[in-house]
Amino acid sequence: MHVMKHVQHCFVSWKWALRQNGSQPSSMKKEREMMTRSIVFFDIDGTLLNEQKRIDPSTKQAITQLQQSGIYTAIATGRCPASFKWVCEELNIQSFVSMNGQYVVFEGQVIHDNPIPAAEVDRLTTMADERNHPLVYLQADAMQKSMKHNTFTEALKQFQIERLPIRQVSDSNKPVYQILLFCNEQDGMEYAAHFPDYQQHRWHTHAVDFLHANTTKAVGLQKMIEHAGFSREHCYAFGDGTNDIEMLQFVGTGVAMGNASDDIQMHANYVTSSNNEDGIRNGLQAIGLI
């Protein structure tokens, strides 16, 4: 109950600031406004998207309500920007934390990027090729695969990705921020032993996200709110996966989706209904933002 009152107070404070400031505020007033203005981060898969990989009308309406009331909205996902451009366009969102915090954009400006060193990309590629494990290289504006392999079709189907170009030698100078490694859990342990400075987030029986060990969505959130002047206290996040745990812990108020496992829900302040049951709208109502 105390948390709910606090959330509502933050929201009312921002609305009060809008009424009081009137015309063009000074730089000091702008800074104060940003520090009290709320920002909500949304994961994509299992959160914004339902099981059919579509955005429910209730979700779109709820996010529009947030934006119209002056609450800032942003994406926080493990995907690369090229694969969720349509989500940003449909929801009128211009800022995002992508590839689990590796690449952050605020209103069209890249404010943080943390690519995997080219030598490490090559080392992983060599090891994966030797074991016939396919890779997908995530860049800021593209996705490429290391080889033709049947595993791709089934695992990437959930992202509505059917065809990817094979990475060429000429592409080696392009920054890679995250790699999708297709292997089972036992093989994943072998990779972990060879790459102790990197982490894996398993999102499929035969696939993991491979990225820097010290990078999470929470790191990306921190970069964005510092750049834009938001306070952590007025920061909210919705998520459902293991790569959302640090984000849910970092924000002032974390909301886990009803379809998230108990291991995820335990790290959130609130649990809403599932991504198939108007979870975004119901969660935003529960915390008093709409």
- Which residues are catalytic, by number? 43
Both tokens of 87, joined, read 């989500």
3-class state of residue 209 by DSSP: strand
Tokens read off for 27: 């730089």
Cα separation, 132 vs 84, in Å, equals: 29
Label residue 69 exposed, middle or buried (CB < 10 Å: 0-12, 13-18, 19+). Answer: middle
User: Which residues are registered as beta bridge partners of 207?
Assistant: 204
Backbone angles phi, psi at 266, to 5 degrees: -65, -15
**Cβ 41 vs Cβ 97: under 8 Å:** yes
Rg of the chain in Å (alpha carbons): 20
